[in-house]
Amino acid sequence: MSLKNHSDYKKEAERLEYTKEYIKKTLDATEEYRKLYKENIKDAMVNLDYLDSSQSYISILINTKFMETADKNFDNLTRIKDKPYFARIDFKSSEKKEADKVYIGKTSLIQAEDEVPLIVDWRAPIANVYYEGRLGETSYETEGGKQEGKLLLKRQFTIEDGELKNIMDIDITTTDAFLQASLEANAEERLKDIASTIQAEQNRVIRADMHLPLIVQGVAGSGKTTIALHRIAYFIYTYEKTFEPENFMIIAPNKLFINYISEVLPELGAENVRQTTFIDFMLELVGKKYKIVDANHKLMVLISSQNKENKELVKWMKWTAAFKGSMEFKSMLDDYIADIEKDYMPREDFIFQGHVIVDKEKIENMLLREFNYLPLYKRTDELKKTLKNQLKRYKEKFLKETEEYYDHQIENIRYKEEPSEERRHRILAIIEKRDLKLENIQKDSKTIINKYINSFSKIDLFDHYKNLLTEEVLIERYGEKLLPIEGIQHLCQQSRDLLGKKKIELEDYAPLAYLKYRIFGLKEKLRIDSVVIDEAQDFSLLQFYVLKEILNTNMFTLLGDISQGIHSYRSIQSWKEVLNTVFDKGKSNYMKLVQSYRTTIEVMNLANEIIDKLSSPEIVLAKPVIRHGDKPEIAEFDTTEKLFKDLQKKLQVFKKEKFQSIAVICKTNEECQKIKTFLDKEKKVHSKILDEKEESYEAGVVLVPVHLAKGLEFDVVLIVTIDEIYEEKELDIKLLYVAMTRALHKLDILYIKDRMPILEDISDGLSI
Ligand SMILES: Nc1ncnc2c1ncn2[C@@H]1O[C@H](COP(=O)(O)OP(=O)(O)OP(=O)(O)O)[C@@H](O)[C@H]1O
């Protein structure tokens, strides 16, 4: 149906005009207010007296606050002025006669004159009906309880540059044309917001209870990253009164990824959320004392076929990585810390002027029990306070007793002896002795506590850790029941090679942070209440556990996909372990996302065939949204030269077809480099290699190793393998699956003969 034939076209067009006009009026008024607040602040600054809390000072504070609110309103309205809303629902509550017409947009707008909402924020409780509800009986939760009613209309609008382009009424039979249109768009180098097309299963994740840990297993392209960002935006809106945006933190795999997501957050009204990587956050906690080994080093060893020969070494490398992320390692650390505590206990009583003020058993009791809510080394601060109080009492007592003792002697002489020169000398000598003694008590009291406390032997964090892992006797002592003897030897040898050279690897951060937290305490109090972790399948149990302990919160949202667990040598194998060991049993939510929105049916079918080779109960096959595209082309070559030429031709064609982002995905950086050298020599296609240090990438042709492509997406993906082999084994299956599922519209595979045995039994009509 054409837009103008829609029965409500006129009304909706008028409504849009009215809303736009109102936004404009509000923007003008806000601008005026901003000028006024600025003036007020300027005036107040002139009259400011720094010495008192004058009227001017208060005026500055108030006007600054007003200014902040006005700025926020101004930014929000500017953002929506050309597309004020994207949907309308007509909801008739059971208690009302008339239905409410609710226009849903990215931010709310209330008509000041009569408090009527012109636009309702997509995060508001009633908007839940839009995402969840089918026409008919429905309900939504409000602060005051459940609101029952009927959804009479669900309507979507396409509005471009302030103009109404389409109206679409949704009933049970219509497919989500909005979603289709959105998915057909080309990939930019940034993620987009999806407030207008959030699907019901995604909506449930976004709005799930913030106070319980939530684990989301979502297939490739199910919107996990997108949802992570929308969930934070939802929290900020819903818990505005309780939390500041700074209290939310999102942990992403690398800087490239943070850059990829960073622009959506402001669009969603979620600026100021902490965005970091696990490594950066840990560095903030433990400090940067040792050199950091490349976090992907082990994966590269496992990926690259060059390292095949040393199977035994690789086996133990994987074993130590897994152990360092395990809860067994945590219990080993706990035993170690218990011994560090014992070692830290005083060897002597606290003695002042030859008197025992507090005996060592009592001090030990304070350190081990009374103050054990504190990190070990911080307990001495509390001890210091107690000793100070005791010392004060004793000092006064000793001073008084000393004075009395000598005064008594003097009195005695005076009483018994006649005045004489000799008596005078004797008395003076006693006075001198007394004063010296008093001075000595005073002096001693000033230094005695520090002297005592300093006798506790403190060791540097890294040394504690190094001692544990580089001395076989210690690993044996604490890990005797846990570790095989060969494991102990390898762990020790590997640690000597690393820690001995002042280097640490990714797996060391969580245990180091744990030691720091338990022994030293963290420098500042971290006020992070809710943590959202993307690509959570790459985390270990210990990493989750340490984050939970350190941040002292249960408000975690973990999103990941076990099928994409290419770091599984060091990370979790299943979500069950996390649910059972990290969080309180039965007190978390677990949700699954099985619909994939990124990839075409043709690409997803092939990717599913690959991942299905794992035949693991943990693997969930993705269901693609109904969107067709070309069948993936798979081409085998007998020489690199021929492959390169063909690749170049394809890239030229894709560029002509106006695809915005094209990725050539290889197993390793070296392969990317080889292709780049060829393309640069030929000068027909401009390309760029994405590497670890990259913080952003632009549209065009990028060459990217598969582990870095994880999480990203491109219009076209070309998987190329020249030297490396994809075999039918877990890591290769996962790598290929990750690479394939990066494609939005098109996927081709180019390989040198015998380099893709994994594809041998792949079925249906692929153009090989
Ligand atoms: N409801 C939706 N409406 C429109 N687009 C969506 C929707 N859900 C997801 N998408 C799109 O699907 C693509 C995949 O989303 P996203 O990258 O968030 O998925 P993911 O689960 O994190 O993927 P992966 O695990 O493969 O990295 C993105 O282009 C995103 O914009």
DSSP 438: H
Give residue-wise pLDDT tens across range 77-123: 888 889 999 999 999 998 888 999 999 999 999 988 888 899 999 99
Confidence check: pLDDT of 768 > 50:
no
CA of 222 to the centre of ligand 1 (A): 5
Confidence check: pLDDT of 732 > 70:
yes
CB 345 within 8 A of CB 367: yes
Q: Does ligand 1 come within 6 angstroms of the Cβ of 566?
A: no
Report whether 546 belongs to an annotated binding site: no
Q: What angle do CA 414, 416, 422 make, to 5 degrees?
A: 60
Confidence check: pLDDT of 296 > 50:
yes
The string of DSSP letters for 107-125 reads S-EEETTTTEEEEEETTST
Place of tokens 């009259």: 47
pLDDT at 305: 61
> What percentage of the chain reaches a pLDDT higher than 90?
56
Q: Does ligand 1 come within 6 angstroms of the Cβ of 182?
A: yes
Q: Which of 182, 222, 184, 226 is nearest to 201 (CA)?
A: 222
CA of 713 to the centre of ligand 1 (A): 9
Task: Let me know how many helices (H) and strands (E) the chain has, helices first.
Answer: 26, 25
Q: Tell whether 514 is covered by a domain.
A: no
Report whether 596 belongs to an annotated binding site: no
Q: Which of 710, 725, 721 is nearest to 751 (CA)?
A: 721
Tokens at residue 71, please? 């700025």
Report whether 525 belongs to an annotated binding site: no
Tokens at residue 44, please? 């107040």
> How many structural domains compose the chain?
3
For 3, counting Cβ atoms within 10 Å of its Cβ (0-12 exposed, 13-18 middle, 19+ buried), the class is middle
pLDDT at 428: 92
CA of 756 to the centre of ligand 1 (A): 28
For 84, counting Cβ atoms within 10 Å of its Cβ (0-12 exposed, 13-18 middle, 19+ buried), the class is buried
- The CA distance from 744 to 712, in Å, is 10
Q: Tell whether 445 is covered by a domain.
A: yes
Question: Which DSSP helix (H) or strand (E) runs through 583?
Answer: none
Q: Tell whether 177 is covered by a domain.
A: yes
pLDDT at 303: 82
CATH of the domain at 709: 3.40.50.300
Q: Tell whether 463 is covered by a domain.
A: no
Q: Tell whether 544 is covered by a domain.
A: no
715 falls in which pLDDT band (50, 70, 90)?
very high
Confidence check: pLDDT of 479 > 80:
no
Q: Which of 536, 529, 619 is nearest to 228 (CA)?
A: 536
Q: Does ligand 1 come within 6 angstroms of the Cβ of 713?
A: yes
Give residue-wise pLDDT tens across range 358-409: 998 999 999 999 998 899 998 998 999 999 999 999 999 999 999 999 999 9
For 481, counting Cβ atoms within 10 Å of its Cβ (0-12 exposed, 13-18 middle, 19+ buried), the class is exposed
188 falls in which pLDDT band (50, 70, 90)?
low
pLDDT at 751: 96
The mean predicted confidence, pLDDT, of the chain is 88
Q: Tell whether 488 is covered by a domain.
A: no
The string of DSSP letters for 261-312 reads HHTHHHHTT-TT-EEEEHHHHHHHHH-S-SEEPPTTHHHHHHH-GGGTT-HH
CB 231 within 8 A of CB 665: no
Pocket test for ligand 1, best of 122, 183, 712, 717 (most atoms within 8 A of CB): 183
CA of 591 to the centre of ligand 1 (A): 16
pLDDT at 315: 85
Supply the residue whose CA is at minimum distance from atom 1 of ligand 1.
Answer: 198
Tokens at residue 388, please? 């100070």
CA of 114 to the centre of ligand 1 (A): 40
Q: Does ligand 1 come within 6 angstroms of the Cβ of 600?
A: no
Domain end among 196, 228, 246: 196
Question: Which DSSP helix (H) or strand (E) runs through 635?
Answer: strand 633-637
Q: Does ligand 1 come within 6 angstroms of the Cβ of 192?
A: yes
- The CA distance from 439 to 441, in Å, is 5
CB 699 within 8 A of CB 526: no
Q: What is the largest CA-CA distance in the chain?
A: 129
Confidence check: pLDDT of 472 > 80:
no
Q: Tell whether 513 is covered by a domain.
A: no
Supply the residue whose CA is at minimum distance from atom 3 of ligand 1.
Answer: 197
- Among the ranges given (187-201, 508-522, 588-602), the one the predictor scored with the smallest mean pLDDT: 187-201
Give residue-wise pLDDT tens across range 212-236: 999 999 999 999 999 999 999 999 9
CB atoms within 10 A of CB 716: 27
pLDDT (average), residues 143-167: 91
Give residue-wise pLDDT tens across range 19-74: 999 999 998 888 887 888 788 788 777 776 666 556 777 777 887 888 787 788 88
pLDDT at 767: 42
> What percentage of the chain reaches a pLDDT higher than 70?
94
601 falls in which pLDDT band (50, 70, 90)?
very high
CA of 121 to the centre of ligand 1 (A): 22
CB atoms within 10 A of CB 272: 13
Report whether 136 belongs to an annotated binding site: no
| pLDDT, greater one: 656 or 473 | 656
Report whether 224 belongs to an annotated binding site: yes
- Segments forming the whole domain that contains residue 387: 347-455
| Reported ipTM exceeds the 0.90 cut | yes
Domain end among 177, 196, 215: 196
Confidence check: pLDDT of 636 > 60:
yes
pLDDT at 37: 79
Confidence check: pLDDT of 183 > 50:
yes
Which ligand 1 atom is nearest residue 187's CA? 29
| pLDDT, greater one: 760 or 747 | 747
154 bridge partner residues: 89
Q: Tell whether 588 is covered by a domain.
A: no
| Crossing angle for the helix pair 376-416 and 327-344, to the nearest 10 degrees | 10
CA of 476 to the centre of ligand 1 (A): 47
CA 437 vs. chain centroid, Å, equals 61
Q: Does ligand 1 come within 6 angstroms of the Cβ of 742?
A: no
pLDDT at 662: 95
CA of 600 to the centre of ligand 1 (A): 13
Q: Where are the beta strands (DSSP E) in 47-98?
A: 87-93
Domain end among 167, 196, 225: 196
